[in-house]
Every structure is written in C-alpha cells, then in structure tokens.
Structure 1
Amino acid sequence: MPGTNPHDHLASRAEVLWLKEPDPDPRSARYAAADKNRAYRDSPQPANARRPANWISALSGYEEFWRENGRTPRENTRDLATLPAEERRKGGWAGYQRKFEEKLCRYQIIRLDLSPAFEWDPQEHIWQKNFAAYRHHLELTGTPPYLNGADPAEFALARWFNRQLRQLQIGAQPKGRADQIAILLALRSTTGGSNHPC
C-alpha cells in the first residue's frame, strides 16, 4: 500500500510532481511505474522495464544505506581498503547520476531531487551544513566554536571556520561563500565573539 514506507511516500510525491506537466519522454512513465511497483524486481519483467526497475532498485539501496548509516555511501576514500565494495558501488552509482544528469529522464531527476539521501553537489551540501551549524552555535551560545578537544563537534566547526577564513584571506573563496562568511563575522562581532580565538 503506498505511503506505508519512505520509498512509497517518495514515489507518490515524485509521480504527483511528474504529472503536473506534460512529459513527451516515454522513459519517464516506465521509471514512474517501476518506482510505484517495486515488485518488478522479483518477477519477470518486460524488456523495457528492466532498466527502470534496476535504477529504482539502486536508488532504493542508496536510500536504505543512508537510513541505516546516517550518511551516504562513500565514493572514494584515502584508504580504499577501508571502503567495502558494496558501499563503493552505491557511491559510484550516485556519482554516475551526477555526471550524466542530462541523460536522465524527467521522472528520474524529480525522484533524485526528492531523495533525502541524494545531493547533486555533495560538497556544497556539506559546506552549507557546516555554515548552518556554525551559525546555530554562534546564535545559541553567543560565542564562536573553539578548538575544544573535549567536544569533537565544536572542534570540527572551529577548524572548518578557520579554513574558510584562510581561503577568504587568499582570495580563494567564491563570492557566494565569501558573503556567507561575512554574515558569520558580523554575527561574531554582535555576539561578542570577535575577540575569541577559534
């Protein structure tokens, strides 16, 4: 029954968004059907349904990994021996979606947009998450995060901000990010945190 699990809820939302506008690409209907009826995975499939069913199955596995681990599958790591093959495959699948976005049908794009696990630009997502966490800490405590060894999360935020300041000083910070760092600097001065070292 739709709506009984997160996947069904996402599939229903994606179908509603997809049906809002005419879509001349016949592939979208096949991907929507595969997403709606995941039973394709366990039963004989018509030839034109295999690829959509495999794609939906891969997306479902990617989202399941995210739900179970609290993070997305890694695509790479400095020590490849620590990256299990299954996780690398899931991460590689996501990288492939980003790389070949223009080849995806509209339903696939909508479904990826709705996925809580998938990000089109993971690095920008992480940067914005750190920005929000730093700002929240500043507004909540009235002081900037310190390089405090007793609190790993605070330590990581302080290091992140110091790296952003270094990039800002050497002119390596993109304008949008530089503007956001300026917001944090202004908040630091209004909360009395400007004299505190990170």
Structure 2
Amino acid sequence: MTAAPSGVTIRPARPDDEARVARLLALRGITVEEALEQAPRMIAALPVLLLASLPADDAEPTGAGGAAARSAEVDAVAHAAEADDTAAPVALSGAFILPGDLEDDRPERWMVSGLIVDPGARSRGIGRALLAAVGAAVQEIDPGEDLFSVVETANHASVAAHLAAGFQEAAHVDGYAGLVFDGDALLMRLPGTTV
C-alpha cells in the first residue's frame, strides 16, 4: 500500500461522521440538504468508506488560498462537522460490489464509489493515498479481487491519482453500468493481490 502523505490520517467513516461526509458530498455541487440526506445512507451502505484528514491547523478548506468560494450553507455544515475535530476531513472515497450484468457481459466486481478531494487540499497526494487505502481495504474484505473505477479522461488529476495508486487502464468507455459520460472515460483496474 502507498503511504499517506505526512500528516494525513485515513480512517473508516463512522455513523457520527454524517456532517463530515455531507460537507465533502456538497463539494460535488449537490445541495446541502441532499448531502445531509445522502451521507447517513452512504455510511451505512458502503462496505468501504474512508475519510482522509489533515490536522485542523494544516487544513486549507475550499475558498482559502485563492480556490473558488463555497456557499455559506456548505461553510455552515463544515463548521458543524469540524467544531470538535482535531483533524479536518478533506477527502473521501469508498468501494462497493457492483452486481454483474449478463446482458452487458459484465461480472460482479468491486467498484470505487467516487473520489472527492477538497480543492484546498489538492496536489498533496491525498487522492492517491486514499485510493490506495480503498484498494487495501477491499483486499482485506475480498483478497485477490480486482478493484475497478471509471474516470472521465478530461479529469487529468483523477486519472493521475488512480495511476499513482497502482490502477491500470482497462478500457476506454463512453458509459458504464448505466452511467453515461459527456466525453471519453477510462475503466481503470487495480489488480488484486494474492497472499
């Protein structure tokens, strides 16, 4: 497994992380209300859901350092989530088992559920470390199984993070498992390890 950058802590999300997960989900452009509804379901449903945190005094939330400003609602969720934090969550990712589809000739497989890194925490290797940790968590649950992810090719930072975490390009796709992309996307694969 790739080591986390200095000062970064990666841990499983817990039920009391609802506000922290919601703050990160809201960075994807959904409303705060939607994020607050989705967070507890996500924590309960995903077999792997990890949070990456920086020490509170090292975290640079979105809006700082010239990054695009967040809405006041997202700030309110962030303050509620971080009021008692000694480490500020800056990223999340997880994995789930995607059922197979005989019609598409797709077997059941582990899939990355997404990768969200707060813009104020990017370019620190956090995404790479988080993806590697998700891969390691999948190996603990299901040794030897590959982990797949679909990434839009235009998202160069995400493609680079996946490659740095050990993922390999498996195929170019314009849609996958019912998802349709605006442009070209990559199906990426992190090979499972056998002991």
TM-score of Structure 1 vs Structure 2, range by shorter chain: under 0.3
- Larger-Rg structure: 1
The structure with higher relative contact order (CA 8 Å, sep 6+) is 2
User: Structure 2-normalised TM-score?
Assistant: 0.25
Larger strand fraction of residues: 2
- Structure richer in helix, relative to its length: 1
